[in-house]
């Protein structure tokens, strides 16, 4: 048998990118025994500011609500609008592709084929867990999972959290600014009084977004529970069936129901902070690795693959937990099933 000769060209590509990234990042090499220094000024890497809350892009509030207060334009709102628009565009072209295939040979192609495969996989997962309630649960499960996945992946695009407004730093820290001509500038490693407020920031690292999504998930879990079981769904939280027949065990059932109510409300916190915490940790990890490796810019870029993996896993976990809790809400207690039989 003839063995094909291996050509490890990929490692040479990585090596070239590392060298180019080193010089572009401002790295210099001094030739031994000479005074010659090779290197360019390039674009030195700046350690990003680790900020939990989204940055304000406007000095004045857009409007004021009576109870909530001032509403500012933060850098997660443009990202939110972009995700909605892009998903609408994808949905339009997928729908057009499926309609064209329906008029010809019924074989989906292109983006229609991809979307159909993803939705079919998600529906099979829902049907395997929810059974006859799959059609009720699937729209919410698929919408939440696809949107969270799209939001997590979109923040990995170039330009996110790196292009924005240069403003004065409040407190310690800050960098100097080098002019690029006109109103454009660039932060430099030298100490100064300016920081970058990016135009676009991933919405998954905004606690407002994750909390709102968690509230929607938990509310719809209760709605589906009521639609499946009717008013009897409340017995899950306020179980008084055996309160007067067997007082001791009836009281225990009532206390267990109250604990179940507390557990249901705590899902809002667990949903919100799980997604927010994991995605925010990805930003911190990339910043730490970039700071440790210095001017070797290609290596921190490889860490983005890990953040890509985390984004996929977190979208799957958020969607699956929502679907499983919805499926559980459609099922009554064991004693209810016994009575029905």
Q: What is the pLDDT of residues 257-299, one digit of tens each?
A: 788 888 888 889 988 998 888 888 877 877 777 666 655 555 6
Domain total in the chain: 2
DSSP annotation of 74 reads B
How far is CA 335 from its chain centroid? Answer: 40
| Domain co-membership, 236 together with 332 | yes
Query: Distance between CA 215 and CA 269 in Å, rounded?
Result: 9
| Domain co-membership, 150 together with 248 | yes
Taking residues 296-309, report their average pLDDT.
69
How many CB atoms are closer than 10 A to CB 30?
11
Taking residues 198-216, report their average pLDDT.
89
| Domain co-membership, 273 together with 318 | yes
What mean pLDDT value characterizes the chain?
Answer: 79
Kindly indicate the confidence band of residue 164, based on its pLDDT and cuts at 50, 70 and 90. Answer: confident
| Domain co-membership, 136 together with 35 | no
Asked, for residue 180, whether it belongs to a domain, the answer is no
Asked, for residue 53, whether it belongs to a domain, the answer is no
Query: Distance between CA 217 and CA 268 in Å, rounded?
Result: 8
Residues 6+ positions from 210 with CB-CB distance below 8 Å: 204, 271, 272, 273, 275, 276
Q: What is the pLDDT of residue 335?
A: 46
Asked, for residue 193, whether it belongs to a domain, the answer is no
Query: Distance between CA 152 and CA 271 in Å, rounded?
Result: 15
| Domain co-membership, 14 together with 159 | no
Query: Distance between CA 279 and CA 213 in Å, rounded?
Result: 15
CA dihedral 275, 277, 283, 289 (to 10 degrees): -130
Q: What is the pLDDT of residue 140?
A: 92
Q: What is the pLDDT of residue 17?
A: 72
Residues 6+ positions from 131 with CB-CB distance below 8 Å: 327
Place of tokens 């084929």: 113
Backbone angles phi, psi at 303, to 5 degrees: -65, -20
| Domain co-membership, 33 together with 105 | no
Q: What percent of the chain has pLDDT over 90?
A: 13
Q: What is the pLDDT of residue 289?
A: 72
Angle between helices 110-130 and 134-154 (to 10 degrees): 130
How many CB atoms are closer than 10 A to CB 122?
19
Residues 6+ positions from 71 with CB-CB distance below 8 Å: 61, 62, 63, 64, 65
More confident residue, 150 or 23: 150
Query: Distance between CA 196 and CA 48 in Å, rounded?
Result: 8
Q: Which domain holds residue 93?
A: 75-163+199-340
* pLDDT at residue 340 is higher than 50: no
Asked, for residue 181, whether it belongs to a domain, the answer is no
Q: What is the pTM of this model?
A: 0.78
| Domain co-membership, 112 together with 245 | yes
Backbone angles phi, psi at 66, to 5 degrees: -60, -45
* pLDDT at residue 339 is higher than 50: no
Taking residues 162-179, report their average pLDDT.
76
Taking residues 155-180, report their average pLDDT.
76
How many CB atoms are closer than 10 A to CB 37?
9
Kindly indicate the confidence band of residue 199, based on its pLDDT and cuts at 50, 70 and 90. Answer: confident
| Domain co-membership, 19 together with 149 | no
Asked, for residue 210, whether it belongs to a domain, the answer is yes
8 Å CB contact between 30 and 36: yes
Q: For residue 74, what are the β-bridge partners?
A: 56
Kindly indicate the confidence band of residue 214, based on its pLDDT and cuts at 50, 70 and 90. Answer: very high
How many CB atoms are closer than 10 A to CB 329?
24
pLDDT in tens, 94-126: 888 888 887 887 777 788 888 888 889 999 989
| Domain co-membership, 140 together with 284 | yes
Q: What is the pLDDT of residue 15?
A: 73
| Domain co-membership, 15 together with 106 | no
How far is CA 147 from its chain centroid? Answer: 9
Residue 303 vs residues 24, 99, 195, 222: alpha-carbon distances, Å = 19, 40, 24, 39
| Domain co-membership, 19 together with 104 | no
Q: What is the pLDDT of residue 24?
A: 65
- Is residue 9 helix, strand or coil? helix
The string of DSSP letters for 175-188 reads: EEEEEEETTEEEEE
| Domain co-membership, 331 together with 208 | yes
Do the bridges between strand 37-39 and strand 28-30 make them parallel or antiparallel, or are there none, so unpaired?
A: antiparallel
Asked, for residue 322, whether it belongs to a domain, the answer is yes
Asked, for residue 62, whether it belongs to a domain, the answer is no
More confident residue, 35 or 224: 224
* pLDDT at residue 85 is higher than 70: yes
More confident residue, 46 or 270: 270
Asked, for residue 27, whether it belongs to a domain, the answer is yes
Q: What is the pLDDT of residue 88?
A: 92
Kindly indicate the confidence band of residue 341, based on its pLDDT and cuts at 50, 70 and 90. Answer: very low
How many CB atoms are closer than 10 A to CB 213?
23
Kindly indicate the confidence band of residue 333, based on its pLDDT and cuts at 50, 70 and 90. Answer: low
More confident residue, 125 or 159: 125
Taking residues 192-200, report their average pLDDT.
82
Taking residues 37-53, report their average pLDDT.
66
Q: Which of 24-38, 202-216, 225-239 is the least confident region?
A: 24-38
């Amino acid at each position: 048998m003839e063995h094909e000769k291996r050509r490890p060209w990929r490692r040479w590509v990585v090596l070239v990118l590392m060298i180019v990234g080193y010089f572009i990042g401002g790295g210099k090499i001094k030739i031994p025994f000479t005074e010659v220094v090779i290197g360019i000024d390039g674009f030195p890497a700046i350690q990003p500011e680790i900020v939990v809350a989204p940055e304000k892009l406007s000095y004045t509030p857009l409007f004021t609500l009576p109870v909530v207060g001032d509403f500012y334009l933060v850098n997660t709102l443009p990202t939110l609008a972009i995700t909605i628009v892009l998903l609408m565009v994808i949905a339009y072209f997928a729908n057009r592709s499926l309609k064209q295939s329906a008029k010809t040979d019924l074989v989906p192609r292109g983006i229609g084929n991809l979307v159909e495969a993803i939705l079919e996989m998600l529906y099979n997962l829902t049907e395997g867990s929810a059974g006859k309630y799959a059609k009720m649960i699937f729209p919410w499960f698929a919408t939440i999972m696809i949107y969270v996945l799209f939001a997590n992946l979109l923040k990995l695009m170039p330009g996110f959290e790196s292009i924005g407004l240069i403003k004065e730093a409040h407190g310690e820290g800050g960098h100097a600014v080098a002019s690029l001509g006109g109103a454009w500038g660039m932060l430099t490693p030298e100490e100064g009084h300016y920081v970058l407020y990016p135009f676009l920031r991933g919405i998954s690292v905004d606690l407002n977004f994750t909390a709102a999504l968690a509230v929607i998930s938990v509310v719809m879990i209760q709605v589906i529970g009521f639609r499946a079981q009717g008013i009897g769904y409340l017995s899950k939280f306020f179980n008084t069936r055996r309160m007067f027949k067997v007082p001791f065990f009836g009281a225990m059932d009532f206390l267990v129901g109250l604990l179940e109510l507390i557990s249901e409300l705590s899902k809002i916190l667990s949903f919100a902070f799980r997604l927010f915490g994991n995605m925010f940790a990805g930003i911190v990890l990339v910043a730490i690795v970039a700071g440790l490796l210095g001017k070797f810019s290609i290596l921190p870029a490889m860490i983005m693959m890990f953040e890509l993996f985390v984004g996929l896993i977190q979208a799957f976990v958020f969607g699956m937990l929502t679907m499983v809790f919805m499926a559980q809400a459609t099922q009554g207690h064991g004693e209810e099933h016994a009575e029905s039989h």
